[in-house]
DNA sequence: CTCAGATGCGAGCTTTTACTCATATTATCG
DNA sequence: CGATAATATGAGTAAAAGCTCGCATCTGAG
């Protein structure tokens, strides 16, 4: 638990194809373990075993087990941010409600298929030394959303963005945990919460 | 990580005062560690050290480290459930909005002062073998809220209860994590989300 | 084909951690 | 008090986990 930043970043980057494959296998093994057993079940020996590689190879590219988790978190955040930006870019001139719903769709898709993984990764942030870049992705996402909200007359847009992100995450996460499978239904309830919140904010803010 | 139920429950109950004090010290030490270093930072040796007792004593009352976390989770849930029930019992005939706001206050108070602890405990449920009784507390809470919602004409009350609980938790949790200190402001935003959601649900349900 | 650099390996060393047990101290009650 | 039950202790053990290092194998440029 003493992990500082130096040990939470990749050690070296793969140059040949086989090493890229190896790194990918490690990430997937890590994800699977986090998904089924959580942070506490993740150890380098097991990751290596599940990935079908040796511990030594693992340590060629990951200086610590935290680095694996950090990498997964970064990927997950980057994907979400990219998805959101794509929606926003492709939705110029569209009605507010439509855009919000599309954003919601991106969020739901990213979280609902592997809810345990998503939850563990988010939880991990508070416990690990995560590099600034990965942390920044979270802020970037909020700012992206905030900009969009501001353009549509929502007051305190940054606060609202944070609130909406965390509230939607909480709702979807819990639904996944309970074993709900109807993503459309969950999304529609999340929509209610989001629009409800926004309406109140338009008046009160 | 193999912990089954037998090992996640208290070993024996304190009979004298000194042992009750000891157990209390262990819980508080556990809470402090979870708060600052998360689940991964919790180990029996450290808990004992922080509590100022010996490992041997710890194992007199806790069969495993999981039992400490399980106990903390149970307490936290019991407190929340009690608080909610008290509000509901004391609010017969009060307007819906007032009661909701009081419930929100209970939730916020229980979560906002030690957000890291609250988050870790909730996360822990998925990773540990928690006794049925503690698990049931979660359901009881949802059902309590659901009953209240149903009496006020909310459709799909149980789903709505789950959604509201998790959405409020997500929102408050994130606010605490970001270091917000104005509990009243957070609560008022949570109120917006809750009423917003409920209004949509009254129509759509 | 060759060879230097890149990659892969896994036995094994070290540290951490869960947990026990023999022993010592303290409370309670007659 | 004195005796018995309750409680507290912490050195010690076994298992798990983090991580290294010397050596084997592969790849691609020339």
**In chain B, what percentage of residues exceed pLDDT 70?**
94
Give residue A170's domain range: 71-204
- Per-residue pLDDT, B96: 97
Q: Which nucleotide is nearest to B62 (CA to C1')?
A: C19
- Per-residue pLDDT, A9: 57
Instruction: Identify whether residues A199 and A98 lie together within a single domain.
Output: yes
A201–B contact, CB cutoff 8 A: yes
**Cβ–Cβ gap B193/A126 under 8 Å:** no
Instruction: Identify whether residues B105 and B146 lie together within a single domain.
Output: yes
Q: Which of left, alpha, beta for B153 (phi over 0: left; psi -120 to 50: alpha)?
A: left
- Per-residue pLDDT, B7: 54
Instruction: Identify whether residues B182 and B116 lie together within a single domain.
Output: yes
For strand C, list residues 186-205 of chain B whose Cβ lies within 7 Å of it: none
Helices (H), A38-95: 44-51, 55-61, 65-90
| CATH number for the domain that contains residue B12 | 1.10.10.60
Q: Which of left, alpha, beta for A140 (phi over 0: left; psi -120 to 50: alpha)?
A: alpha
Instruction: Identify whether residues A50 and A93 lie together within a single domain.
Output: no
Dist CA A3 CA A34 (whole Å): 19
The CB-side HSE value for B155 (13 A sphere, CA atoms) comes to 8
Distance from first CA to last CA of chain B, Å, rounded?
42
Helices (H), chain A: 17-37, 44-51, 55-61, 65-90, 96-112, 115-127, 132-151, 157-178, 183-204
Does the pLDDT at position B133 exceed 70? Answer: yes
- Per-residue pLDDT, B13: 87
A21 touches strand C (CB under 7 A): yes
Dist CA A6 CA A68 (whole Å): 13
Count up the domains in chain B and report the number: 2
- Per-residue pLDDT, B2: 37
Chain D positions under 7 Å from a protein CB? 6-12, 16-22, 26-28
- Considering B24, B49, B65, which residue would you say is the last residue of a domain? B65
Instruction: Identify whether residues B88 and B33 lie together within a single domain.
Output: no
pLDDT digits (tens, 9 = 90+) for B21-58: 999 999 999 999 999 999 999 999 999 999 999 999 99
Task: Return the minimum-mean-pLDDT range out of A22-26, A125-129, B164-168, B195-199.
Answer: A125-129
pLDDT in tens, chain A (205 residues): 334 455 555 577 888 899 999 999 999 999 999 999 999 999 999 999 999 999 999 999 999 999 999 999 999 999 999 999 999 999 999 999 999 999 999 999 999 989 999 999 999 998 888 888 999 999 999 999 999 999 999 999 999 999 999 999 999 999 999 999 999 999 999 999 999 999 998 865 5
B18 touches strand D (CB under 7 A): yes
- Considering B16, B49, B65, which residue would you say is the last residue of a domain? B65
CB-defined contacts A:B, below 8 A: 123
Measure B11 CA to C23 C1' (Å): 21
Going by C-alpha positions, the residue among B36, B34, B47 that lies closest to residue B123 is B34
Contact predicate B198/B145, CB 8 Å: no
Going by C-alpha positions, the residue among B125, B112, B149, B114 that lies closest to residue A174 is B125
B86 touches strand C (CB under 7 A): no
- Per-residue pLDDT, A3: 43
B10–A contact, CB cutoff 8 A: no
Instruction: Identify whether residues B15 and B99 lie together within a single domain.
Output: no
- Per-residue pLDDT, B205: 53
- Per-residue pLDDT, A90: 98
For strand D, list residues 7-36 of chain A whose Cβ lies within 7 Å of it: 7, 16-18
Work out the mean pLDDT of chain B and round it to a whole number.
Answer: 93
């Amino acid at each position: 638990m003493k992990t500082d930043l130096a040990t939470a970043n990749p050690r070296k980057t793969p140059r040949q194809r086989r090493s890229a494959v190896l790194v990918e296998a490690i990430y997937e093994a890590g994800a699977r373990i986090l998904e089924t057993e959580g942070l506490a079940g993740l150890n380098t020996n097991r990751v290596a075993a599940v990935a079908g590689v040796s511990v030594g190879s693992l340590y060629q590219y990951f200086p610590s087990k935290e680095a694996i988790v950090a990498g997964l978190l970064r990927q997950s955040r980057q994907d979400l941010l990219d998805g959101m930006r794509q929606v926003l870019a492709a939705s110029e001139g569209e009605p507010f409600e439509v855009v919000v719903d599309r954003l919601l769709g991106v969020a739901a898709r990213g979280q609902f298929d592997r809810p345990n993984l998503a939850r563990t990764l988010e939880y991990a942030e508070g416990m690990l030394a995560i590099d600034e870049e990965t942390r920044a992705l979270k802020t970037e996402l909020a700012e992206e959303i905030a900009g969009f909200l501001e353009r549509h007359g929502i007051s305190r847009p940054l606060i609202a963005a944070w609130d909406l992100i965390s509230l939607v995450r909480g709702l979807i996460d819990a639904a996944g945990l309970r074993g709900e499978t109807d993503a459309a239904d969950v999304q529609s309830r999340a929509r209610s919460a989001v629009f409800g919140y926004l309406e109140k904010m338009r008046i009160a803010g």
